[in-house]
Chains A and B, each alone.
Chain A
Amino acid sequence: MYRYDEFDARFVAERTAQFKDQVERRLRGELTEEEFRPLRLMNGLYLQLHAYMLRVAIPYGVLSSRQLRQLAMIADSFDKGYGHFTTRQNIQFNWPKLADVPSILEALAEVEMHAIQTSGNCIRNVTTDQYAGVAADEIEDPRPHCELLRQWSSLHPEFSFLPRKFKIAVTGAPHDRAAVKVHDIGLRMHRNEQGEPGFEVIVGGGLGRTPMVGKTIRGFLPADELLPYVTAIMRVYNRFGRRDNKYKARIKILVHEIGVDAFSELVEAESARGDHGEAIELAAAEVARIEAYFAPPAYEALPGKDPAHSAQLFENKAFARWVRHNVAPHKVTGYSIANISLKPVGGIPGDATADEMRTVAGLAERYSFGEIRVAHEQNLVLPDVATRDLYALWQALETAGLATPNLNLVSDIIACPGMDYCSLATARSIPVAQAISRRFADLARQEDVGDLHINISGCINACGHHHVAHLGILGLEKKGVESYQITLGGSADENAAIGQLVGPGFAADEIVDAVEAVVRVYLDGRKGREERFLDFFRRVGIKHFKEALYAPAQAR
């Protein structure tokens, strides 16, 4: 993974010192809250419902064991012993004190981490596929360009006061695990007919109040032209994005209002201005330098099949189940990608205690070259596990309560923190996730249901990404109580789609029954287990679901 050189280290050190000074000026009263707010936001510090919240950047979801241990230390020393992994591959601490934040930032800087630009109207964490660099289906490793974009976007002088936040995602595989089509800029790495690397550039995707799937404005952008082209997009957005209404200020609104053709012309015209020769050269040199950090680890030459592993699969049903759901194919023979679910039955999705973080850090060192990934689904990944080690890994995870074998199943729920933590929320999301998880606790039942992505957002800002869930739940307020709407048929991958609203919302004590009713429609009507929920929905549409959910009581 990328390692800081003296420049990166100095950059973060100075930024930390700068923020420390800003905190001190605030505490002395030299800065009002109104002046301090944009500054603290640019350092990832929010004021939430019960306390401050610090959002720490995990660039494109890659962590070292050392970093994860430091996060655990911060959780113990400065917070309440846990952290929350988010839908943008970051981690949040929910209880820091303002006066402690400079010390927390110093502790982060020690391990080459920071909270820069995890908030505010600037370019946020560039996210990617949690299997980047190791996925069996990968065409190009997106991480070097993610790192390039990360550096380039850090304290960019022209783009730090945008109309609104800006999110970029990159994928290097045909199966998109990074949700690039619902980001402000989505980049899909691929090769042209001449075998040259480049990007499909997709703009104007997004969720929130007005969910939209992004539009392609460039089918193939040569890789070395990435930064001048992204600069052009950012400049068009900075100049012409709406600033009159916070809810109409994202780039998706601009693309929608002027049309993708007009938008594309503006970008092409902007990027044609000026001579980008030196910029392209500098960026290419930097990418080459960065690529060296992403050279493959010292993989052993292992056989495709490991007899001990095969025997364990046969003998241990629980292990076999975990492998079936949580292990993904690796591009190197004899290796596997192991997913660690942070969705135990009845648990809080994405939360990890300091002890759990330390356990995972140790297991990563032992079995995965010291590297961990954070998925936007709020789970963790050990990307480079020798298949022969999976059994030992699983046993260790079992002991630590981290072996829930539920990836992509109905209890692998993505949920924003919701009103239990967030001051923007209109309803709680976590208790709904917990209740659904408990209702479907039986693994055999979950396996029968198969792939069913449930996402829960506690307000219309959709941080739970409910719009692109197979079954999305949106928590609102109706007549002074929480009310939950269901959307169906969303998808975040290369066939991205926005879910359709089924009908009026359900009360907190009805929503789990409603989810069961949805599942029953699927189970009753599907062609067989091979027809996944999403495919079933695409075949039959929303009608039967509406009937099942809103028919008179006796018909249910």
Chain B
Amino acid sequence: MPLLKHGEWILDTWRFYPDDQPIPSAKPKIVTVARLKGDDGEFLFHCDCQLGVRLESHEKIEDLEPWLERLQLVALVFPKFADGRAFSSAAMLREQYGFAGEIRAVGNVLVDQYPFMRRVGFDAFEVEQGRALDSWKKARIGIGLAYQYDDRSPDGPAAVWRARRGNRPLTLAAE
């Protein structure tokens, strides 16, 4: 599946292992929360590998807390594009838990949601085959201005309230 990261299409080095599949020791792997909490949890915590978790939209970020320092990636699922829970999960990961790893959007996402996702802290996007990949690149910035003061995307929209106060010079996001 094509992976969009930092505005470019890259090869995905991660792989998701559903609960019924055995997990390899060395490769970067994404597993479910259930697996982290289950019998494999101990092994996964200590193994020398890149580890990511896949969170369904009804699962809570708080449940990941004991693991966050260990994780390099959190994948947040959008079962339908209208299910906006992952936006809050991403925002909380960055804002409250200070998570600095990759936050990846998987599932049903609309290209028009892309700027919103970047702004709450997503930095990678799995996009279904057959989607107009061009339009994803074009949609990256969205509107060059944002009123909300928490902006977590690098070269994201200029924060209007900060600009009004002159705290930061106004550099509008690149077109």
- By a beta-carbon cutoff of 8 Å, the part of chain A in contact with chain B is 5, 7-8, 10-11, 14-15, 18, 22, 25, 30, 35, 38-39, 121, 151-152, 154-163, 235, 238-239, 243, 273-274, 278-279, 282-283, 285-286, 289
Establish whether residues A285 and B83, one from each chain, have CB atoms under 8 Å apart when the complex forms. Answer: no
Contact with A along B117-160 (1 / 0, CB 8 A): 10110000000000010010000001111111110000000001
* Contact of B9 with A by CB under 8 A: no
**Closest chain A residue, CB of each to CB of B113:** A161
- By a beta-carbon cutoff of 8 Å, the part of chain B in contact with chain A is 60, 81-85, 87-89, 91-92, 95-96, 110, 112-113, 115-117, 119-120, 132, 135, 142-150, 160-165
Establish whether residues B88 and A18, one from each chain, have CB atoms under 8 Å apart when the complex forms. Answer: no
- Determine the chain B residues whose CB is within 8 A of the CB of A282 once the complex forms: 149, 161-162, 165
Given contacts A158-B88, A161-B87, contact A279 B150 (CB under 8 A): yes
- Determine the chain B residues whose CB is within 8 A of the CB of A15 once the complex forms: 143
A154 to B142, CA, bound (A): 13
- Determine the chain A residues whose CB is within 8 A of the CB of B83 once the complex forms: 161, 243
A8 to B143, CA, bound (A): 12
- Determine the chain A residues whose CB is within 8 A of the CB of B81 once the complex forms: 38, 161
Task: Find B88's partner among A35, A239, A243 (CB 8 Å cutoff).
Answer: A239
Q: Which of B96, B160, B163 has the most CB of A within 10 A?
A: B160
**Closest chain B residue, CB of each to CB of A240:** B85
Interface contacts beyond A11-B147, A160-B116: sample of 7 additional A-B pairs, CB < 8 Å, sorted by A: A121-B82, A151-B161, A154-B147, A155-B146, A235-B92, A238-B84, A286-B164
Task: Find B120's partner among A5, A8, A11, A158 (CB 8 Å cutoff).
Answer: A158
Establish whether residues B142 and A160, one from each chain, have CB atoms under 8 Å apart when the complex forms. Answer: no
Task: Find B96's partner among A8, A158, A273 (CB 8 Å cutoff).
Answer: A273
- Determine the chain B residues whose CB is within 8 A of the CB of A273 once the complex forms: 96
- Determine the chain A residues whose CB is within 8 A of the CB of B161 once the complex forms: 151, 282-283, 285-286
- Determine the chain B residues whose CB is within 8 A of the CB of A35 once the complex forms: 110
Task: Find A38's partner among B110, B116, B119, B150 (CB 8 Å cutoff).
Answer: B110
Establish whether residues A157 and B117, one from each chain, have CB atoms under 8 Å apart when the complex forms. Answer: yes
A152 to B148, CA, bound (A): 6
**Closest chain A residue, CB of each to CB of B78:** A161
A-B contact pairs, 13 of them (CB 8 A): A11-B145, A14-B144, A35-B110, A155-B143, A156-B148, A158-B87, A163-B84, A235-B91, A239-B85, A239-B88, A282-B149, A282-B162, A285-B164
**Closest chain A residue, CB of each to CB of B147:** A151
Establish whether residues A157 and B96, one from each chain, have CB atoms under 8 Å apart when the complex forms. Answer: no
- Determine the chain B residues whose CB is within 8 A of the CB of A38 once the complex forms: 81-82, 110
CB distance from A279 to the nearest CB of B (A): 6
Task: Find A157's partner among B60, B112, B115, B132 (CB 8 Å cutoff).
Answer: B115
- Determine the chain A residues whose CB is within 8 A of the CB of B162 once the complex forms: 282
A39 to B95, CA, bound (A): 28
CB distance from B128 to the nearest CB of A (A): 12
CB distance from A542 to the nearest CB of B (A): 41
A243 to B115, CA, bound (A): 23
**Closest chain A residue, CB of each to CB of B60:** A239
CB distance from A537 to the nearest CB of B (A): 42
Q: Which of A7, A283, A286 has the most CB of B within 10 A?
A: A7
Establish whether residues A238 and B87, one from each chain, have CB atoms under 8 Å apart when the complex forms. Answer: yes
**Closest chain A residue, CB of each to CB of B150:** A279
A273 to B91, CA, bound (A): 12
Q: Which of A14, A239, A283 has the most CB of B within 10 A?
A: A239
Establish whether residues A152 and B96, one from each chain, have CB atoms under 8 Å apart when the complex forms. Answer: no
Task: Find A274's partner among B96, B117, B149 (CB 8 Å cutoff).
Answer: B96
Establish whether residues B164 and A289, one from each chain, have CB atoms under 8 Å apart when the complex forms. Answer: yes
A273 to B98, CA, bound (A): 12
A8 to B146, CA, bound (A): 10
**Closest chain A residue, CB of each to CB of B148:** A156
A11 to B170, CA, bound (A): 14
A145 to B117, CA, bound (A): 27
CB distance from B114 to the nearest CB of A (A): 11
- Determine the chain B residues whose CB is within 8 A of the CB of A238 once the complex forms: 84-85, 87-88
Establish whether residues B87 and A157, one from each chain, have CB atoms under 8 Å apart when the complex forms. Answer: yes
**Closest chain B residue, CB of each to CB of A155:** B143
Establish whether residues B143 and A11, one from each chain, have CB atoms under 8 Å apart when the complex forms. Answer: yes
Task: Find A10's partner among B92, B135, B142, B145 (CB 8 Å cutoff).
Answer: B145
A30 to B120, CA, bound (A): 27
Of all A-B residue pairs in the complex, the 3 with the closest CB atoms, nearest first, are A161-B84, A157-B119, A157-B116
Establish whether residues A279 and B119, one from each chain, have CB atoms under 8 Å apart when the complex forms. Answer: no
- Determine the chain B residues whose CB is within 8 A of the CB of A152 once the complex forms: 147-148
A286 to B119, CA, bound (A): 21
**Closest chain A residue, CB of each to CB of B167:** A282
**Closest chain A residue, CB of each to CB of B153:** A157
- Determine the chain B residues whose CB is within 8 A of the CB of A14 once the complex forms: 143-145
CB distance from A460 to the nearest CB of B (A): 22
A243 to B81, CA, bound (A): 12
A154 to B160, CA, bound (A): 12
Q: Which of B112, B142, B162 has the most CB of A within 10 A?
A: B112
CB distance from A115 to the nearest CB of B (A): 15
A11 to B158, CA, bound (A): 11
- Determine the chain A residues whose CB is within 8 A of the CB of B164 once the complex forms: 5, 7, 285-286, 289
Establish whether residues A157 and B88, one from each chain, have CB atoms under 8 Å apart when the complex forms. Answer: no
A421 to B115, CA, bound (A): 35
A500 to B12, CA, bound (A): 60
- Determine the chain B residues whose CB is within 8 A of the CB of A8 once the complex forms: 160
Establish whether residues B84 and A39, one from each chain, have CB atoms under 8 Å apart when the complex forms. Answer: no
A422 to B147, CA, bound (A): 33
CB distance from A383 to the nearest CB of B (A): 27
- Determine the chain A residues whose CB is within 8 A of the CB of B95 once the complex forms: 274
Given contacts A157-B119, A285-B161, A286-B161, contact A18 B143 (CB under 8 A): yes
Task: Find A158's partner among B91, B160, B163 (CB 8 Å cutoff).
Answer: B91
Given contacts A11-B160, A155-B143, contact A22 B112 (CB under 8 A): yes
A35 to B147, CA, bound (A): 26
- Determine the chain B residues whose CB is within 8 A of the CB of A155 once the complex forms: 116, 142-143, 146-147
CB distance from B153 to the nearest CB of A (A): 9
